[in-house]
Homo-oligomer: A and B are copies of this chain.
Amino acid sequence: MTLTAPSRRSSPAEDTAVVTTSVVVFTIRGRRLELLLVGRRSEPFRGYWNLPGGNVLPEEDLQVCAERKLREKAGVEGVYLEQLYTFGRPDRDPRGRVVTVAYYALVPPSRLRQPAAADAGMVGWFALDGLPALAFDHGEIVGQAHRRLVAKLDYSTIAYQFMPEAFTLSQLQGVYESILGEPLDKRNFRKRVLGLGHLVETGTVCRDGSHRPAKLYRLRNPRTVEIIK
């Protein structure tokens, strides 16, 4: 690391930073939007919770680092993962200059795993509306991830990342409500979602006993997040 830009006068060492990734891992359980936190065992912020993440290895791509953290801490692979924003305030870590490239991941409830035994007690799922105090600027990162998710509800099929292959409109509405944190009007929701044309009927129904049978739907193009125009 001996890079110098022609216009810079400080020594090369002053120009370097530790680069980390931080991952906001969302899931929805029991109609609650939850995220994964890791307990800190060392200073600074010892005893606080923070986002899963860590140093980018010398030969590691940023996204590969985020995928590794997701695998190590949440035990999942192959879920939706998107770069969110890079946070680099000079004073965000008391140990020195640390720039973190934040990602967010969406884990369908069916993919949830128990944390590895080694991490038991140090990894937990928390409701977004009941988070403990977070270390560093991680509260700000979580806020931005939630805003991105809410914004994308309006113009993309991102919510379907939380759905099983076949689902009822009522289940889908539950996911939207969990993300938005507020109830939606059932008639308007159905009209809007069906009007967008990205859902197809599976031809089967869901019977849970307590209600009349509900039609099951699937996404026309599963596995991709489409922009809705």
Q: Within the complex, what minimum Cβ distance (angstroms) separates A71 from chain B?
A: 13
In the complex, the answer to whether A90 meets B10 with C-beta atoms within 8 Å is no
Which of A60, A83, A90 counts the most chain B CB atoms within 10 A?
Answer: A90
**Do A18 and B18 contact each other (CB < 8 Å), given the known contacts A90-B58, A229-B154?**
no
- Decide yes or no whether A7 CB sits under 8 A from chain B: yes
In-complex Cβ contact of A18 among B1, B86, B96 (8 A): B1
Q: Within the complex, what minimum Cβ distance (angstroms) separates A86 from chain B?
A: 4
In the complex, the answer to whether B14 meets A58 with C-beta atoms within 8 Å is yes
In-complex Cβ contact of A8 among B1, B16, B54, B151 (8 A): B54
Which residues of the partner chain B approach A41 to less than 8 Å between Cβ atoms? Answer: 6
In the complex, the answer to whether A3 meets B16 with C-beta atoms within 8 Å is no
- Decide yes or no whether A17 CB sits under 8 A from chain B: yes
In the complex, the answer to whether A88 meets B101 with C-beta atoms within 8 Å is yes
In the complex, the answer to whether B61 meets A5 with C-beta atoms within 8 Å is no
In the complex, the answer to whether A2 meets B95 with C-beta atoms within 8 Å is yes
Which residues of the partner chain B approach A15 to less than 8 Å between Cβ atoms? Answer: 18-19, 55-56, 58
Which residues of the partner chain B approach A18 to less than 8 Å between Cβ atoms? Answer: 1, 3, 15-17
Complex CA–CA separation, A151 to B227 (angstroms): 9
In the complex, the answer to whether A96 meets B2 with C-beta atoms within 8 Å is yes
In the complex, the answer to whether B90 meets A6 with C-beta atoms within 8 Å is no
- Decide yes or no whether A142 CB sits under 8 A from chain B: no
Complex CA–CA separation, A96 to B57 (angstroms): 13
- Decide yes or no whether A97 CB sits under 8 A from chain B: yes
Complex CA–CA separation, A229 to B57 (angstroms): 41
In-complex Cβ contact of A55 among B5, B62, B155 (8 A): B5
CB pairs A–B below 8 angstroms (30 shown): A1-B17, A1-B18, A1-B96, A1-B97, A2-B95, A3-B18, A3-B98, A5-B20, A5-B54, A5-B55, A6-B41, A8-B54, A8-B55, A8-B57, A15-B19, A15-B58, A16-B16, A16-B19, A17-B17, A19-B19, A19-B88, A56-B99, A58-B97, A61-B89, A62-B86, A62-B99, A83-B85, A86-B86, A86-B101, A99-B101
Sort A-B residue pairs by CB-CB distance and give the 6 closest, nearest first: A16-B16, A62-B88, A86-B86, A3-B18, A17-B19, A5-B55
